[in-house]
Amino acid sequence: MTAPLVFSRVGHAFLGRTLFEDFDLAVEAGETVALIGPSGSGKTTILQIAAGILEPAKGRVLGAWRRQAVVFQEPRLVPWMTLLDNIAYGLAARGEPRARRREVAARLALEMGLEEADLPKYPTELSGGMRQRAGVARALAVDPDMLFLDEPFSATDVGLRRHLQNLLIAAARTRGFSGLLVTHDLTEAVRIADRLLVLSALDGRIAACHTLPGRPGERSERMVFEQVEAWSRDPVFGELFSARERRR
């Protein structure tokens, strides 16, 4: 079976400055790959190229999925739409009948820990955490087989971040979608991903690639902690992350 997302010798530059060249990546069906690396190494650019938001300057990107969805750091809800209509937004674009849209959106909202009473509220009436939950629900509502996650939980506090990570891991297991995750948070990558690519600060090259043991959701907190601790001592990670990022 061919991988749903393949980058072959992809290169990109902004304003004449080469960000990366000859970048290769294959994300397999049902696999979540985390891109981690220092600020400016090109993680978001790679994700945007994969999601078709940005055209690469060089190389080929093959995408073989039915439906994609993106979860951004800032959930980007439409301010004049209710929570329910925001979550149903992608379904409306797909032409699903209104009753069906509302039914799916309400189910997803509850699955993400939102409450029935919140559904008619507008984004300004919601907390940041509720908006973030809505962003994840909106992405899952379209039943994607490819999910792009650009620092999806970095603006949420530690408790909620953990909770949303667990919801996402559970959703990936039951729905079987592939994922590309951009994060600064090594713990998040070790919890959510099957494979981890570490980008180099210097030229966006892959400095390291690690397949994580077991499946997301099956790794104990201790195992995650020990893996992150071990990598914190690894020179590849040591060079790439500040002490603050390693502590998160």
- 19 binds ligand ATP per the rule CB under 6 A: yes
The helix (run of H) or strand (run of E) holding residue 152 is none
Query: Closer to ligand ATP at the Cβ: 222 or 244?
Result: 244
Q: Which residues of 45-57 are buried (b: 16+ CB within 10 A; e: fewer)?
A: bbbbbbbeeeebe
Q: What share of the chain is helix, strand, coil (3-state, %, to 5)?
A: 40, 25, 35
Query: Closer to ligand ATP at the Cβ: 37 or 123?
Result: 37
Q: Enumerate residues 75-114 that contact ligand ATP by CB under 6 A.
A: none
Query: Closer to ligand ATP at the Cβ: 41 or 165?
Result: 41
Cβ atoms of residues 219 and 191 within 8 Å: yes
The amino acid present at 186, given as its one-letter code, is L
- Which one among 1, 15, 99, 117 touches ligand ATP, defined by CB under 6 A? 15
CB of 210 to ligand ATP, least distance (A): 18
Query: Closer to ligand ATP at the Cβ: 184 or 219?
Result: 184
- 40 binds ligand ATP per the rule CB under 6 A: yes
- 45 binds ligand ATP per the rule CB under 6 A: yes
Cβ atoms of residues 114 and 137 within 8 Å: yes
What would the DSSP string read from start to end of 13-70? EETTEEEEEEEEEEEPTT-EEEEE-STTSSHHHHHHHHTTSS--SEEEEEE--S-EEE
Q: How far apart are CA 191 and CA 186, in angstroms?
A: 9
CB of 50 to ligand ATP, least distance (A): 12
Q: How far apart are CA 129 and CA 51, in angstroms?
A: 25
For ligand ATP (CB under 6 A), the number of binding residues is 12
121 contacts: CB under 8 Å, gap ≥ 6: 82, 83
Residue range at the interface with ligand ATP (CB under 6 A); choices 43-51, 77-85, 185-193, 213-221: 43-51
Residue range at the interface with ligand ATP (CB under 6 A); choices 41-49, 86-94, 168-176, 218-226: 41-49
**Considering only CA atoms, which of 21, 6, 31, 27 is closest in space to residue 176?**
31
- Which one among 10, 27, 42, 190 touches ligand ATP, defined by CB under 6 A? 42
- 225 binds ligand ATP per the rule CB under 6 A: no
CB of 39 to ligand ATP, least distance (A): 3
- 39 binds ligand ATP per the rule CB under 6 A: yes
- 41 binds ligand ATP per the rule CB under 6 A: yes
- 183 binds ligand ATP per the rule CB under 6 A: no
Binding residues for ligand ATP, rule: CB under 6 A, are 14-15, 19, 37, 39-45, 184
